[in-house]
Structure 1
Amino acid sequence: MPMTFATDRGDAIPLHVVETGALKDWLAGQLPRVATWVQTSGFKAELGQAAIIPAEDGSIAAAAVGYGDASARNRGRFHLAGAAAKLPAGTYKLVTDLDAGTLEPEVLGWLMAAYAFDRYAKASGIKARLVAPEGVDAGRIETIAEGEALTRDLINMPACDMGPVALEAACVDLAGKHGASIDVIRGEALIEQNFPMIHAVGRASDQAPRLIDMRWGDLGPKLTLVGKGVCFDTGGLNLKPGASMGLMKKDMGGAATVMGLAQMIMALGLRVQLRVLIPAVENAVSSNSFRPGDILTSRKGLTVEINNTDAEGRLVLADALAFASEETPDLMLSMATLTGAARVAVGPDLAPYYSDDDAMAAALDAAARKVADPVWRMPFWTPYEKMIEPGIADLDNAPSGGFAGSITAALFLRRFAGEATRYTHFDIYGWNPTAAPGRPKGGVGMGARAVLEALPGVLGL
Structure 2
Amino acid sequence: MPTDRLDLAPAGTTAIPIRFLEPAEWPAFEAALPPIQRAYAGATQFVPKAGRICLLPAADGSLDRVLFGLGDTGAAAHDRLIAGRLVGLLPDGRYRFEADSGIDLGEATLAWLLSSYRFDRYKAASAPIPSLVAPDGIDAEGILRVARAVAAGRDLVNTPSNDLGPAEIEEAARRLAERYGAAVTVTCGEELAKEFPLVRAVGTASPRSPRLIDLIWGEPDAPRVTLVGKGVVFDTGGLDIKPSSGMLLMKKDMGGSAAALAAAEMVMGSSLNLRLRLIVPTVENAIAGNAFRPGDVIRARSGLTVEIGNTDAEGRLILADALALADAEEPDLLVDFATLTGAARVALGPDLPAFFTEDDALSTAIEKAGVDAIDPVWRLPLHAPYASLLDSKIADLNNVSGGPFAGAITAALFLRRFAPKTKRHVHFDLYGWNPSTKPGRPEGGEVQTARLVHTLLMTLYPAA
Shift of 1:74: 2.2
Q: Which residue of 1 aligns with 2:217?
A: 216
CA distance in 2, matches of 1:457, 1:128: 33
Q: RMSD value over aligned CA atoms?
A: 1.7
Aligned to 1:85: 88
Aligned equivalent of 1:31, options 28, 31, 34: 34
Q: How does 1:276-355 map to 2 (within 5 A)?
A: 276-355=278-357
Amino acid at match of 2:71: G
State yes or no: 1:449 paired with 2:451.
yes
Q: C-alpha displacement at 1:126, in angstroms?
A: 7.3
Amino acid at match of 2:39: T
- Equivalent residue letter for 2:9: A
Residue 69 of structure 1 aligns with an amino acid whose one-letter code is D
Q: Deviations over 1:182-212 (max 9, x none)?
A: 00000211123x2110111011110111000
Amino acid at match of 1:429: Y
Q: Deviations over 1:311-332 (max 9, x none)?
A: 0000000000001111111101
Secondary structure in 2 matching 1:44: coil
Q: Could you give the per-residue CA deviations for residues 193-251 of structure 1, whole angstroms, max 9, x where no partner exists?
A: x2110111011110111000011111521110000011111100001100001111100
Q: Give 1:413 deviation, angstroms.
A: 0.2
Aligned-partner Cα distance in 2 for 1:441–1:220: 38
Per-residue deviation, 1:2? 2.4
- 2:272, 2:461 within 8 Å by CA — same for their partners in 1? no
2:376 paired residue number: 374
Is 1:21 equivalent to 2:27 in the alignment? no
Is the Cα–Cα contact under 8 Å of residues 11 and 136 in structure 2 kept in the other structure?
no
**Structure 2 residue runs without a partner (length 5+):** none
What corresponds to 1:187 in structure 2? 189
Match of 1:46 in 2: 49
Q: Residue 408 of structure 1 corresponds to which residue in structure 2?
A: 410
CA distance in 2, matches of 1:255, 1:266: 16
- Whether 2:70 is the aligned partner of 1:67: answer yes
198-207 vs 414-423, greater mean Cα deviation: 414-423
Gaps of 5+ in 1: none
State how far apart, in whole Å, the 2-side matches of 1:355 and 1:390 are: 25
**Residue type matched to 1:197 in 2?**
L
CA contact (8 A) 2:216 2:275 kept: yes
CA drift at 1:378: 1.0
Q: Which residue does 2:260 correspond to in 1?
A: 258
* Partner in structure 2 of residue 199 of structure 1: 200
Identity of aligned residues (%): 46
Deviation larger for 80-89 or 324-333? 80-89
Instruction: Give the superposition deviation at 1:125.
Output: 7.1
Equivalent-residue separation in structure 2 for 1:268 and 1:371 (angstroms)? 15
User: Could you tell me how far 1:9 is from its partner in structure 2?
Assistant: 4.9
Give the letter for the 1:50 counterpart.
I
Post-superposition offset of 1:263: 0.8
For the 8 Å contact 1:205–1:284, the answer to whether it is kept is yes
Structure 2 matches for 1:122-133, cutoff 5 A? 122=124, 124=126, 127-133=129-135
Residue 75 of structure 1 and its aligned partner are, at CA, apart by: 4.4
Do the aligned partners of 1:254 and 1:335 also contact (CA within 8 Å) in 2? Answer: yes
Equivalent of residue 276 in structure 2, options 274, 294, 302: 274
Corresponding residue of 2:385 = 383
- Deviation string 1:37-86 (CA, Å, 9 cap, x unpaired) is 11212210111111111112221111111111135572434111113421
Contact 1:187/1:203 (CA < 8 Å) preserved in 2?
no
Partner AA of 2:177 in structure 1: A
Q: Secondary structure at the match of 1:70?
A: coil
Q: 1:368 to 1:146 in 2, by over 3 A?
A: same
1:153-174 CA deviation, whole Å, 9 max, x = no partner?
0000011110111111111111
Contact 1:114–1:124, Cα closer than 8 Å, also in 2? no
The aligned amino acid for 1:129 is S
Change (3 A) 1:93 1:73: farther
Structure 2 Cα separation of the partners of residues 184 and 374 of structure 1:
33
The number of equivalent residue pairs is 459
CA offsets 1:397-424 (integer angstroms, 9 cap, x no match): 1111110000000000001012344100
* Residues 432 and 390 of structure 1, relative CA distance in 2, 3 Å threshold: same
After TM superposition, the structure 1 stretch with the greater mean CA deviation from structure 2, 267-276 or 1-10, is 1-10
SS in 1 for 2:394: coil
Match of 2:60 among 57, 60, 74: 57
- In 2, distance between residues paired with 1:126 and 1:415? 50
Say whether the 8 Å CA contact 1:18–1:45 is kept in structure 2. yes
The equivalent position to 1:237 in structure 2, one of 219, 229, 239, is 239
